[in-house]
Structure 1
Amino acid sequence: MLEVVILGTGNVASHLFKAFSEKENIDVIQVYNHNKESLKSFSNLTNTTTNIQQLKKADFYFIAIKDDVIAEIAQQLNKYKGIILHTSGAVGINRLKHTANYGIFYPLQSFSRNTTIDFTEIPICIEANSAENLEKIKTLALTISKDVREVNSEQRKALHVAAVFINNFSNHLYAIGAEICNEHAVDFSILKPLISETASKIQTLSPYEAQTGPALRNDHKTIETHLAILSNKHKNLYREITQSIQDLHGKEL
């Protein structure tokens, strides 16, 4: 039985807790957070604590807390022999160097607390300070995911930036699209099949090959029509993305 302590109660921590708790060979023996209120949803499921000096002995300690306090939290765990892991995409492994055994366990996915996620489909990027620890982390990761990859800190940071573009930025564009629809009394839901088709295409085509639209066609009339419809706050963004598409595909406005 592998014993796990989770530090944090946010979205990533909550989904990890659920994924591990469903496995017979893993026991989440404790959840830590400095805020007692945030521990309420875990208190009937496992031991909880607000005192980081009272963590139980475990095989793995997951730091699933905001990036800017990872190093500070890790320094307080240097007395433990278990493997100290953080779950951030943007923080290097060296932030854990004050501990004896450490590594990375980065699930490459967007987590919302009330969304059901199949963890078996989530890529987990792992890294460690030794070959032995890497093997232990891999064994743990494979209990909840069928896609586990060794990725170093620089590669993981690049993946995180790429993920921001394809997830966070694209969602912001959905929000702008919804705003445009609302301004013109159109139901945004009419665009949902298009969103699904766009996401589906890159399962068989590269994003470069899947590109369509007036920017790719160098369709000046349509571009000018769109700019005329848009409010001033969206015109510059439209122009910049149009130019970016044309730069990538060797077109000229």
Structure 2
Amino acid sequence: MYRISIWGTGNVAYRLSIELKAAGHSIPFICGRNVTSGKKLVRILNKEENNPHKVEEATFFTNDFHSLKDSDIIILAVSDDVIQTLAKEFATITFKDKKIPLLIHTSGATSIEALECYPFTGVLYPLMTLSKIKPVNFKLVPFLIESYSPEGEKILKDIVLSLGSEYMISTSDERLKMHLAAVYVSNFVNYLIGLAFDISKPNQELLMPLAIETVRKAFLYEHPSIVQTGPAKRGDIQTISKHLKLLEGMSEHRYVYEMLSKLISKQ
């Protein structure tokens, strides 16, 4: 197991650090500029129930990146726009005779080249929506990994396998494409569900079985268009007109309905 320090206190840092600790890795430091969130995460990591392997080393919070230099791995779980800046800061550390930690980021949209000023790098991208408020079964989370060196790639594989997850070795371009695809199946779908909530409340929970079956069925066939249903697909103008009448006064919902119906009708 590895000594893994994490720079970041957001959703990815939160979920990933808890899972890594539960897998038996040491998390010596949580580092970041948000002191309140960082110290809260440290308290969670030091709870006995989050340490099933009885890892002896406790976790501490710091905002001094020099404290992380004795780690085996440093994970930058931060927003894309600060990855390169942080990499440059870590590149200023003098390691002397010590082994250089593997510096990795977790972004799907940022190239590994953002870390090029540092000598030993990698990418560990979890292809999953992560949030502090809801745990995720990491055995179901695929990771896209990348490293310039065989040693770095082995470490990334070790991390993923310790979580019980699967991985795919990918280039930065391939990872960016998958990140784009993920926006469609996650962010856009969630937005549409929000519109559906507005229309159906207080009965929105009745839509859950339909939403689950729709996604499940879409992945069973060669392409989701094969199983596309609904009034736009079958050219049911009468039903579409009724729906549009219900959406009077809801300009955003009506705009999306008309746009998507037009696109679906052309499939």
1:187 pairs, out of 197, 203, 206, with: 203
> Which 5+ residue runs of structure 2 have no aligned equivalent?
47-58
Query: What SS does the aligned partner of 1:124 have?
Result: strand
Alignment-mate amino acid for residue 77 of structure 1: F
The correspondence of residues 1-150 of structure 1 with structure 2, limited to 5 A, is: 1-24=1-24, 26-44=25-43, 45=46, 46-78=59-91, 79=93, 81-150=100-169
Matched position secondary structure for 1:142: helix
Shift of residue 210, structure 1, vs aligned partner: 2.4
Structure 1 residues 173-213: Cα deviation after superposition (integer angstroms, max 9, x where no partner): 1111111124xxx5212212211221222342342222111
Indicate the SS of the match to 1:105.
strand
Amino acid across the alignment from 1:155: E
**2:213 corresponding residue in structure 1:** 197
Answer yes or no: is the 8 Å Cα contact 1:216–1:246 preserved in 2: yes
Query: For each residue in 1:132-160, what CA deviation from the matched residue of structure 2 results, as whole angstroms up to 9, or x when unmatched?
Result: 31122112221113311111111111111
| Secondary structure of 2:29 counterpart | strand
Structure 1 segments (4+ residues) deviating >4 Å: none
The DSSP-based 3-state class of the residue aligned with 2:198 is: helix
Q: Secondary structure at the match of 2:42?
A: coil
How far apart are 1:94 and its partner, in Å?
0.6
Mapped pair 1:224 → 2:237: no
Query: What is the one-letter code of the residue matched to 1:100?
Result: P
Q: Deviations over 1:36-64 (max 9, x none)?
A: 21222233420210112332411111000
User: Given that residues 9 and 34 in structure 2 are in contact (C-alpha distance below 8 angstroms), is that contact kept between their aligned partners in structure 1?
Assistant: no
Secondary structure at 1:43's aligned position in 2?
helix
1:158 corresponds to which letter in structure 2? K
Structure 1 residues 190-241: Cα deviation after superposition (integer angstroms, max 9, x where no partner): 2122112212223423422221111111222222221121133322211111
Alpha-carbon distance in structure 1 between the residues aligned to 2:264 and 2:170: 29
Alignment coverage as a number of residue pairs: 244
Normalised by the length of structure 2, the TM-score is 0.86
Deviates more, 1:123-132 or 1:192-201: 192-201
Alpha-carbon deviation of 1:127?
0.5
Measured in 2, the distance between the counterparts of 1:108 and 1:145 equals 15
Distance (Å, rounded) in 2 between the aligned partners of 1:10 and 1:135:
26
Q: Does 1:152 align with 2:165?
A: no
Paired AA for residue 222 in structure 1: T
Give yes or no for contact 1:5–1:58 (8 Å, CA) kept in 2: yes
Contact 1:227 1:235 in 2 (8 A): yes
- Tell whether the 8 Å contact from 1:59 to 1:82 is kept in structure 2 after alignment: yes
Q: Deviations over 1:61-81 (max 9, x none)?
A: 100011111100111112361
Q: Quick check: 2:109–2:179 contact (8 Å CA) kept in 1?
A: yes
Residue identity over aligned pairs, in percent, reads 31
The Cα offsets for residues 81-136 of structure 1, whole Å up to 9 and x where unpaired, read as 11111001111111000000111100000011121211111000001122331122
Q: For residue 2 of structure 1, give the secondary structure of its aligned residue in structure 2.
A: coil
RMSD: 1.6
Partner-residue secondary structure (3-state), 2:3: strand
How far apart, CA to CA, are the structure 1 residues paired with 2:60 and 2:251?
54
Q: Which amino acid aligns with 1:58?
A: S
